[in-house]
Amino acid sequence: MSRMPRAELDAVVVGAGPNGLAAAVTLARAGLSVRVYERNPTPGGGARTAEVTLPGFRHDICSAVHPLALASRFFREFGLARRIELTVPELSFGHPLDGGRAALAWRDLERTVDGLGRDGAAYGGLMGPLAEHAGGVADFTGSQLLRVPADPLTAARFGLSSLEQGTALWNARFSEDAAPALLTGVSAHAILPLPSVAAAGAGLSLAAYAHSVGWPVPVGGSQAIVDALVDDLVAHGGEVVTGHEVRTLDELPASRAVLLDVTPRALARIAESRLPERYLAALDTFRYGNGVAKVDFALSEPVPWANPALREAGTVHVGGTRAEIAAAENAVTAGRHPDAPYVLVSQPSRFDPSRAPEGKHVLWAYTHVPRGSSIDRAEAVTAQLERFAPGFRDTILATTSSTAVDVERYNPNYVLGDIASGEPDLRQLVRRPVLSTDPWRTPARGVYLCGASTAPGPGVHGLNGWYAARSALRHEFGTRLLPDLSPRS
């Protein structure tokens, strides 16, 4: 009986985004030989930092502020906060309103409540129990939903609160406009119709972190997170090959496991010959959501917000009242580009001076658009910022604008500009990408899916890759032991 040839590698990972690198680090820490292939010249995926406007102005290409960097179990196990410097603003996010008013979400919930007038107590009653048990919220939302939560009471409370804020009841507890606007701004991150239960769930979880661990900004940019992952991988014998696009599994070296940080659409193309028709048909029903258009600004000075308190905010949600933001997001759902869009804004140079030349600033802005849009939204975004920060136009030194088509061209995982890599509605949070207790494992032997199209969904948290690696360790290498990921090991 002839011996089987020894695999060249234990595992191959395709895609060097946070999830692919999380998978690679986990496998390398288990003592396996691991190689990562990345199509772009540098690793990072949704967590790159580069000069895109003027020399010396360093912009985050996708994510800029990282609510999950401290809440993610993978990053806690990895000890991210001990590996890189994370600045956590005391004002997690702010929301400007007309007339120079603003709703402010401080890390200190009591301070937030005090600033919300007659609705302060109502906001505190909604957010207090979730912020107090933010770990339970992270556990419930940070894995697949087909499991018994570690904290059932918090999970139940979270579900009931999502039902309230995701339905026609969403204004029942409020009498003014500031608190509802504050919640709507954070819920709109989900790029879903408003109100909707899934958008409310996303908003409530992010707000719970805002009032507990905070929303950190990585010093040096989002690239610092990726660099920490790559450094750990290399230190444990792994390697990253950049500038190498993988088109089929047959191009890869022999290995016992292949983990793909790609979308179901790309999986079907790369591994089509090894996947059964029934599974391919299920992948074909996976839906991609609406997209984003991004605008990066190089500024001569900080944004001149009409309300000075917003200068302390790590993130600002621009768009006006709850009704205005809902109208803008629902227009996108209907395939239209709203005249007064919702804009997600961050000025990381306010907390990290290394991002821009002395005295200057970078500004990061996203707005939502219909899937596949090729419309440049720089003027619409600028007009909304000018509305709440008069004189903003005069601070602009340079602008770089990306349409949804450009966003997909940069990263094919963002299908039609969908940075969530699949619409994150309730159906696709349970069925992501298929209904399974182990959605990361495909029917093809040794082939796993580990991108944001799998559970628990989008975000820079590394959990998708970590879960996929754990599944591969169990099924391909016969171990349920989780490797120590801490910096000291």
Beta bridge mates, 364: 296, 346
Per-residue pLDDT for 6 more than 60?
Answer: no
Quickly state the pLDDT bin for 5 (edges 50, 70, 90): very low
Per-residue pLDDT for 430 more than 80?
Answer: yes
Per the CB < 8 A criterion, the answer to whether 261 and 239 are in contact is no
Mean pLDDT of 467-484: 96
Quickly state the pLDDT bin for 326 (edges 50, 70, 90): very high
Token duo for residue 360: 């200057």
Tokens 């990066």 correspond to 296
Percentage of residues of the chain with pLDDT beyond 90: 96
Torsion of CA 364, 365, 371, 374, to 10 degrees: -90
Mean pLDDT of 116-140: 97
Q: Could you give all domains of the chain from N- to C-terminal order, each with its CATH number?
A: 9-62+221-287+421-476 (3.50.50.60), 73-217+290-410 (3.90.660)
ω into 424 cis (within 30 of 0): no
Per-residue pLDDT for 489 more than 70?
Answer: no
Quickly state the pLDDT bin for 2 (edges 50, 70, 90): very low
Angle subtended by helix axes 463-476 and 18-29, to nearest 10: 40
Handedness of CA 453, 458, 462, 466 (dihedral sign): negative
105-122 pLDDT, tens digit each:
999 999 999 999 999 999
Tell which residue, 244, 206, 218, has the closest CA to residue 344: 206
Quickly state the pLDDT bin for 147 (edges 50, 70, 90): confident
Pairing of strands 313-318, 91-97: parallel
- Cα–Cα distance for residue pair 228/224, rounded to 1 Å: 6
pTM above 0.85, yes or no: yes
- Cα–Cα distance for residue pair 292/474, rounded to 1 Å: 37
Per-residue pLDDT for 4 more than 60?
Answer: no
288-297 pLDDT, tens digit each:
999 999 999 9
Per-residue pLDDT for 250 more than 60?
Answer: yes
Tell which residue, 294, 285, 240, has the closest CA to residue 28: 240
Residue 336 backbone class (left: φ over 0; alpha: ψ -120 to 50; beta: rest): beta
338-362 pLDDT, tens digit each:
999 999 999 999 999 999 999 999 9
Arithmetic mean of pLDDT over the chain: 96
pLDDT at residue 145, rounded to an integer: 73
